[in-house]
């Protein structure tokens, strides 16, 4: 089933799948596909970068939960519920997020483009680290890949993405997306 195009609904779906993976994690110290990260660090990344991005760009403070080291499940749930509440607020549609690197964007679209997409891609990281279902929505994989490929140089220069990993010709769109963002979906850790 394809994900919704509406930012609030898409976040609900993407964060819901990530929540399932968080709840299904048995070993928070399992190595993750991001070099130097363990499963807990995937949750830490999502719960730590976005609150300051949202606060600086839109003046919105998300509720704070326990630290990821103390309780990764509760840290994620409080964070995800806070983001969903922002997206579900009717006033959010009238707000902007302003950032020196991206300019001023409608807040729902900015959350969708920068944060929900990040949760989506990191769902694979947590799934791979913890031996859970790694399948991602192929339509959203294609949408993200199509949007990122023209900006490859800028993305690589940001330091947020590793070098592209070559995948076999004819690989499915999820495999191509993961290779593009620097993951080795066919690697030895499979």
Q: What backbone torsions phi and psi does residue 182 show, to the nearest 5 degrees?
A: 95, 15
Residue 36 counted as domain residue: yes
Residue 172 counted as domain residue: yes
Coil/strand/helix, residue 103: strand
How confident is the model over 91-136, as pLDDT tens digits?
Answer: 999 999 999 988 999 999 999 999 999 999 999 999 999 999 999 9
The pLDDT assigned to 187 comes to: 76
Q: Residue 126: how many CB atoms within 10 A of its CB? A: 28
Residue 69 counted as domain residue: yes
Q: Which two tokens stand for residue 93?
A: 């549609």
Domain shared by 22 and 94, yes or no: yes
Domain shared by 127 and 151, yes or no: no
The pLDDT assigned to 39 comes to: 98
Domain shared by 66 and 144, yes or no: no
Domain shared by 102 and 179, yes or no: no
Residue 79 counted as domain residue: yes
User: Domain tally for the chain?
Assistant: 2
CATH code for the domain of 68? 1.20.120.450
**pTM for the whole thing?**
0.93
Domain shared by 62 and 106, yes or no: yes
User: Of 54, 71, 70, whose CA–CA distance to 62 is shortest?
Assistant: 54
Residue 1 counted as domain residue: no
Q: Which helix (H) or strand (E) holds 186?
A: none
pLDDT band at 1 (very low <50, low <70, confident <90, very high): low
Task: Tell me the C-alpha distance between 4 and 153, whole Å.
Answer: 29
Q: Which helix (H) or strand (E) holds 8?
A: helix 7-23
Domain shared by 38 and 93, yes or no: yes
Domain shared by 73 and 116, yes or no: yes
* Contact of 51 with 57, CB cutoff 8 Å: no
Q: Which helix (H) or strand (E) holds 34?
A: none
Query: Under 8 Å CB-to-CB from 164, ≥6 apart: which residues?
Result: 152, 179, 180, 182
Query: Under 8 Å CB-to-CB from 18, ≥6 apart: which residues?
Result: 46, 76, 80, 119, 122, 123, 126
Q: Which two tokens stand for residue 4?
A: 């919704």
Residue 65 counted as domain residue: yes
Q: Which two tokens stand for residue 97?
A: 């997020």
Q: Could you report how far apart the first and last alpha carbons of the chain are, in Å?
A: 25
Domain shared by 40 and 108, yes or no: yes
Residue 2 counted as domain residue: no
Domain shared by 116 and 59, yes or no: yes
Residue 55 counted as domain residue: yes
Domain shared by 33 and 96, yes or no: yes
How confident is the model over 46-72, as pLDDT tens digits?
Answer: 999 999 999 999 999 999 999 999 999
Domain shared by 143 and 60, yes or no: no
- Domain carrying residue 33: 7-136
Task: Tell me the C-alpha distance between 117 and 123, whole Å.
Answer: 10
Domain shared by 153 and 111, yes or no: no
């Amino acid at each position: 089933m394809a994900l919704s195009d509406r930012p609030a609904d898409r976040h609900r779906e993407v964060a819901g799948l990530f929540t399932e993976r968080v709840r299904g994690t048995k070993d928070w110290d399992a190595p993750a596909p991001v070099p130097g990260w363990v499963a807990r660090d995937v949750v830490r990344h999502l719960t730590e970068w976005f609150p300051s991005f949202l606060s600086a760009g839109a003046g919105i403070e998300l509720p704070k939960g326990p630290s990821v080291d103390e309780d990764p499940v509760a840290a994620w749930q409080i964070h995800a519920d806070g983001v969903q509440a922002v997206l579900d607020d009717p006033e959010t549609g009238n707000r902007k997020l302003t950032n020196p690197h991206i300019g001023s964007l409608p807040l729902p679209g900015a959350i969708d483009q920068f944060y929900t997409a990040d949760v989506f891609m990191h769902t694979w990281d947590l799934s791979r680290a913890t031996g859970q279902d790694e399948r991602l929505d192929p339509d959203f994989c294609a949408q993200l890949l199509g949007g990122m490929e023209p900006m490859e140089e800028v993305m690589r220069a940001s330091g947020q993405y590793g070098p592209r990993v070559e995948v076999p010709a004819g690989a499915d769109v999820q495999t191509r997306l993961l290779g593009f963002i620097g993951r080795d979906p066919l690697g030895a850790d499979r």
